[in-house]
Structure 1
Amino acid sequence: MSQEAVAMVLPPTRLTPTLLQPCHSFFEDAERVLRQVQRHKKTLEENLEAMLRARDGETLHSQLEDLSCNSQLLTSQQRRDLSFSRFRI
């Protein structure tokens, strides 16, 4: 066989852009999915942090409220002690 006949029988050795297209598209899809997952992860982390801050804020508010009530009770108790101490013999 001549070289021309062999060249016609063998497939081209270079990859054409049409053969690369599915692979390139696959990587683009994978990149797009990865970016979506990263955005969702960031959103979930921000939501978790906000929930933890809110819970900590509620806990702090509750503790301050309890301290305030205890302070008012203590003040009432002290007033009663003072009023009874006047009448002790």
Structure 2
Amino acid sequence: METTSTKTNQSGATTSAPDCERVNTILDQIIVGQEPTAEDEDYFVSHAEDCSPCFDSIDKQRIFVDFLSQHVGRKGAPSSLPNAILARVQAEMA
């Protein structure tokens, strides 16, 4: 695995952008329910430890997700929904 650092020089900062973008891609996948690969998990943790801007961003995202979980939550589907869908499908097929 290639080691990167965002603490070098200006050219290093330029090359770190794709690394930071990979962190964002992994976060996007997690948000939509995709499990990250073991390699992505390792990369994510490693990069977050080395990259101050990403670490700050990850903390902010965690706070945002926690806020949403506490204040918005998930609404469950009504128990009658499966029967309503089945009845509608059967009516269409008739």
Please, what TM-score do these two structures have when normalized by structure 1?
0.28
In proportion to residue count, which structure has more helix?
Answer: 1
State which structure, 1 or 2, has the greater radius of gyration over its C-alpha atoms. 1
